[in-house]
A and B are shown apart, each in its own frame.
Chain A
Amino acid sequence: MTWWQRLRNRDRLEYELDAELRDHLERLAADYVAAGMAPDAARRKARLEFGGLDQVKEVCRDERGLGFVDDLSQDVRYALRGFGKAPGFAAIAISTLALGIGANSAIFSAVNAVLLRSLPYAHAEQFVRLFEEVDAENGAGTAVRPTGITKTELDELRARAKTVTDLGVFVPRTVTLDRRGETIRLSGIALSPALMEAFGAQPMIGRLLERREESAGLNRVLILSHGAWRRHFDSNPQILGTVVSLDGDQYSVVGVMPSSFQFPDAEAQFWTPFIWPAMARLIVSGRLADGASIRTASDEVTNILRQMRGGAAYATWPPPPPPPPPPGMAPKGMPPAPPPPSGAAAADPQTTARKPLRIRFVGFQQELVAPIKPALLVMTVAVAFVLLIGCANMAGLLLARGAARQRELAVRAALGAGRSRLIRQVLTESLVLALAGGAAGTALAFGGIRLLQSLGAVLPRRDLRPAFYPAFSLPRLSEIGLDISALQFTLGLSLLTGLIFGLLPALRLSRSDRTDLLPEPSGSAVGGFDLFRRHRIRGVLIVAEIALATVLFIGGGLLIHSFVKLSSVQPGYDPDNVLTFQVVVPQGGSTLALLDDLATRLRSLPGVTAVGYADKLPMSVGRGVVPLRKTPAPLAGPPPPPTPGGDNPPEFPDLRIVSRAYLDAMKIPIIQGRSLEHASASGSPRAMLINRTLARSGFLGADPIGAQIYGSGPAPWEVVGIVEDVRQLGLDVQPGSQVFIAYDDVPSAAGIVATSPPYFTVRTESDPRAFVSSIRAVVEQLDARAALDNVATMDQVISNSMVRPRLNTVIVATFAALAVVLAVIGIYGVVSFAVVQRTREIGVRVALGARRSQVLGLVMRQTMVVTAIGIGVGVAGGVAVTRYLSGMLFGVTPLDPLTFIAASTAFAAVAIVSALIPARRATMVDPMIALRSE
C-alpha cells in the first residue's frame, strides 16, 4: 500500500492494529488459563507481559511511516488550542497580517495597473507627441510643453524625417448621429490617416483610412468601432457604403474595426479623417521608427524645424488666431478658438523667453502617467511604511510570545521532545497564523480594490476636467484587478517575518542547555527599572514604528487639511441644486430661437427657479481665448506677433458666451454695473462683462465700466459690468481674466450653437435629478428628434474634478490611520509584555513600600521616553520628506505648522493612552503573588 493509500485507509488500519494486538493478548491469556490460571489473573498477567497497548501501537504507527502527517495535524491542533487560550495575541497577530497584506496588495495592484499597464494598442511604447523644451517654472532645468507646427512643416517632416514616421494629428470629436429618427451622440476621434496606419491593426470589415482622405471633399468617410457597430448598426455585415448623417453632413461608412482595437481608449466609437485648418498650428504625434530613440528623433526634428523657421526659430505662444477655417470644423466669428493644446500654462506672450527652438518628443505612456506619477510614488512609500510597521509589530509580537513560552518549551524539552520537534511545533504555529492572516488579507485586498474603484470613478466624459489630455485614455481605475504578484509578494513577506521571528525562541532554546531555563530568571530586582533591558531590539523596533507612523500621520494630516481647503473654495457661483445637460438636435435644427424657447418652457416647470445656458460649463475642458484690444485690430492679414512694450498689446482673457439669464441661473454675483439680462439699446455697442481679476489688472484703466474694447472685428464692445471671479478651470486654479458676452450679440451664434451645443444650467428647488424626466419630456415636445446628453448635476461636475485629490487624500489618510493603529498596538504589546516580565520586580517594589502612583510613573516614564524619541524622529523625517507632497497640496505648505503640531500631539495622546492600560495593570500587582510567581 502506498503511503497515500495508507493515508486514506487510516481508520481501517487503526482498527486492524487494535484487533491484531487484542487478539495476541487474548491468546496469551487463554494460554495462561489453559495452564490453570483464573481468567482475570490470566488477563492481567497477559497485559503486564505485553506492556502498554498504546505504547506498542505508537511504535507500530511510527513504523507505518505516516508519522509526519500525524505529527502535523497534532501540531496544528495544538497550535489552535494555544491560540484559543491567548485569543488576544492571535487576534492582534492575524489582524496585523491581514491589514498589512490587504492594504498593500490593493495599492500595489493599483500602482501596477496604472503605471505598468500598456495602452490598449500595439507598439504603444513607440508613439510619441511633439513637445518643446522651455525653462522650468522654478528655474531649475527644463520642462516640456506641447507645441504646434503648421501644415507646411508637417509635410516637410513627413518627407524628410527618418527617425519618426506616420506623423499626424488626432483630436476628439463628438458628433450627433441621426439614425432612424433617433438622435445619438457619438464620441470618436478625428485623426490623420497616416497615424491610423501606424497602429498596424487590420479592420474587421472594409478598410482603414487613406492618406488622400485628409483633404476637404474626400474626408466624409467613417470607420466604426466594434462597439458602435454592434450597438447602433445591429452588427450588420453589409454595413459598407451605408451613408449616415453626422452633424448634418453625409458620411459613408468604409470600415469596422475589431473589438481588440481601441485608440486611444475603449470610449472611442469612430474614426474619421482630420482636416487641417489652414494656418493652424497643431500638436502632432507620430511613431518612432525602428531603431530610433526619442533623443535622435528630437534632434532630427529640431534641426528640420530650425531650418524651416530660419530667424523665427523661437518658441511662440499662443499661436496667432487663424482666419476663418473651412465650414464644419470650427465655429466662425468672434472667438475663433484654435484647437487648444492641452494643459499648457497660458504664458503671457510678452514674457515668453526667446530661446532657440528645442524639440523633445514624449512617449504617450509617459504623458499619460506623468501627472499621476508623484502621487503613485507617494502611495508606494506609504505602503512600504505600513508594511514595515506591520512586520515590526509581528516580530515584536512573536518575540514576546516566544519569550513567554520559554518555560513551556523548556518543560517539553526536558520531557524528551527533540529539538526538531519543538522547532516544527513553533513553525507550525507561525504557519497557521500566516495562513489565517493571509486569507483575511486577501479578502481585505478585494474590498480595498473595490473601494479604490469607486473612489477613482470619473464620469466617462471627455468634455470635463480633470482633463488628462484631450484625447487620451480616460483613467480606468474601474479596470484594476487584484494583482496576483502583489498579493504573492506581501503574503510571502509576512510568511517570512512570521517564520523568522517565530523560530528565534525555538532556536535560542536549542543553543543553551535546556535545564537552566526552567527556573526562569526575570532579571535582578536591583538596579534601574528598564523596560528594554534584555530586549534592546524590541525597543529599537518600537521607536522605528512610532517614527514611521508619525511621518505617515503628518502626511495624511497635510493631505486632509489640503482637501478641506480645496473643498471650501468658493467657486464663484452656487452649484447646489443645478442640473446641467446639453440638448442635441440633428441636422442643424438647433437654433438660438429653439434654445430660448426651450429655456422659457423649462423655466415654467414647477420647481425650477432659473434657467440659463452657456458655451462652456465651469470645469469644461478647453478654453476659448480671445484677443482684446483697446483699438481695432488691423484689417488685413493675421495680426503681427505681439511685441513687448508695444502700443497695442492685447489681453487674452477667457471667453464665455452665455444666455442672458445664465448669470442669474448660476448666481454669479455682479459687483458693479449691470448684467447682460437686457440687450443694449440699438445703436449702442454690445454689452460685455469682465471679471474682478481683469478689472483689477488695470488693462482697462481705473474705472473699466463704460470702456470700449475690440475683439477681432471692427465693432466695439462696451464693458457694462464687473462680475465676481469664477473658478472655471478647477477649484485649485486661480481664475484669470474672463469676459462674458451674450449669444444674441454674437453674429455667428447660429453656427456656434449648431456645432457645439451649449450647456444648460437649470436651478431647481429640490434635488435636480428628480427633474430629468420632466425636462426630457419638454425637450421632446419641442422637437421630437432632440435628445439630452451629458446630464449631470453641477455638484457632480465639481466632485468629478476633484477625483484625484480625493483619491490621494483617502488613500494616504487610510494608510496613516493604519500605521497609527499598528503602532499603538505595538506600544500596547511592548508595555504589556514588559510589565509581565517585570512582575517579580514590581512586586518587590510594592512590598518595599512603593505606592501605586510611583509604579505607574515608573512604567510610564520609560514609555514616554521611547514615544518621545519616536515622535521626534518622525517629525524630523516629516520635515525632510513632506516636500514631495507639495504637488498634491492646495492652500497648505508642506511644513504647515498646524498640521505638524496637531498630528504629533494626537499621536502622543493615543500612545499615552495605549501605554496606560497595561501600566495600570502593573499597579494592581499583588506583591505576594508576584514574589511567588518565580
Chain B
Amino acid sequence: MTTPKSDLPQGTLDLLILRIVALGPIHGYAIAQRLQQVSKDVVQVQQGSLYPALHRLENRKLLAATWKSSDTGRDAKFYRLTSRGRAQLEEETANWERLAEGIRLILRIAQGDLP
C-alpha cells in the first residue's frame, strides 16, 4: 500500500532528528523508523542521508553519543540531545511554525479576503 510521499525540504532533516532525539536517547535505525511511523509514512528518510546528518549534528555538538547495549544484545550508538541541541531545537521549531503559519495563511487566501 503506497501513501503519497513528500520530498523533505532542505535542512529540515536536522530539525526532525533533533525533535525525535529530544524524546529520549535513541539509535540511528530507530530514528528512521520513528520518523516514518510518526509522520504516518509521509516522511521517509533516504538511508544515505540519515547518518551524515547524525554525524553533522554530533560534530556541531547538538547531539552527544554513547555506545550502549541494545535490545538485540549488540552494542549500538545511542544519541541524546545536548543542552545546546535543545536550545537549537526550540529556536528552529519556533521559526518553522512561524513560517508554516505564514504559508498557510497565503495558501488559504480567498478572493474575497483581499482588501
Contacts and interface: CB of A to CB of B under 8 A. Distances in A.
A20 B51 contact: yes
Interface stretch (A55-63, A211-219, A371-379, A567-575): A55-63
A24 B28 contact: yes
A63 B55 contact: yes
A88 interface: no
B27 A23 contact: yes
A765 interface: no
Given A27-B72, A49-B47, A60-B51, A20 B56 contact: no
Contacts of A62: 52
Nearest to B61: A1
A27 B29 contact: yes
B47 A51 contact: yes
Nearest to B28: A24
A62 B59 CA distance: 11
A24 B31 CA distance: 11
Contact of A21 (B51, B56, B59, B74): B51
A16 B77 contact: yes
Given A20-B77, A63-B56, A50 B29 contact: no
A418 to B, nearest CB: 19
Nearest to A28: B29
A62 B51 CA distance: 12
A63 B52 contact: yes
A84 interface: no
B61 to A, nearest CB: 10
Given A16-B67, A49-B47, A60 B27 contact: no
Interface in A12-36: 16-17, 19-21, 23-24, 26-28, 30
Contacts of A24: 28-29, 32, 47, 51
Contacts of B67: 16
B59 A63 contact: yes
Contacts of A60: 51-52, 55
B102 interface: no
Contacts of A706: none
Interface residues of B, number: 18
B76 interface: yes
A81 interface: no
A50 B47 contact: yes
Interface string A48-80: 011110011001101111000000000000000
A59 B48 contact: yes
Contacts of B51: 20-21, 24, 56, 59-60
A65 B28 CA distance: 20
Contacts, number: 53
Contacts of B32: 24
Contacts of A64: 55, 59
Contacts of B74: 23
Contact of B48 (A16, A23, A55): A55
Given A16-B67, A49-B47, A64-B59, A23 B52 contact: no
A59 to B, nearest CB: 4
A21 B55 CA distance: 12
A659 to B, nearest CB: 95
Nearest to A22: B74
Contacts of A56: 47-48, 51-52
Interface string A440-478: 000000000000000000000000000000000000000
Contacts of B55: 17, 60, 63-64
A49 B32 CA distance: 13
A59 B51 CA distance: 9
Interface string B45-69: 0111001100110010000000100
A50 B48 contact: yes
Name which of B27, B32, B47 has the most chain A CB atoms within 10 A of its CB: B47
Interface string B1-41: 00000000000000000000000000111001000000000
A61 to B, nearest CB: 8
A631 to B, nearest CB: 109
A23 B47 contact: no
A27 B51 CA distance: 15
Given A49-B47, A60-B51, A63-B52, A23 B29 contact: yes
B59 A23 contact: no
A64 B57 CA distance: 10
A327 B33 CA distance: 116
Nearest to B49: A59
A25 to B, nearest CB: 9
Contacts of B46: 51
Given A23-B27, A28-B29, A51 B48 contact: yes
A52 B27 CA distance: 20
B47 to A, nearest CB: 4
B60 to A, nearest CB: 10
Contacts of A20: 28, 51, 76-77
Contacts of B52: 56, 59-60, 62-63
Given A26-B72, A27-B72, A55-B48, 18 more contacts: A17-B55, A20-B51, A23-B27, A23-B74, A24-B29, A24-B32, A24-B47, A28-B47, A51-B48, A52-B48, A56-B52, A59-B48, A59-B52, A60-B52, A63-B52, A63-B59, A64-B59, A65-B59
18 contacts: A20-B51, A20-B76, A23-B28, A23-B74, A24-B28, A24-B47, A27-B29, A27-B72, A28-B29, A28-B47, A50-B48, A52-B48, A59-B48, A59-B51, A60-B55, A62-B52, A63-B52, A63-B59
Interface of B: 27-29, 32, 46-48, 51-52, 55-56, 59, 67, 72, 74-77
Interface of A: 16-17, 19-21, 23-24, 26-28, 30, 49-52, 55-56, 59-60, 62-65
Minimum-distance CB pairs A-B, first 3? A51-B48, A59-B52, A27-B29
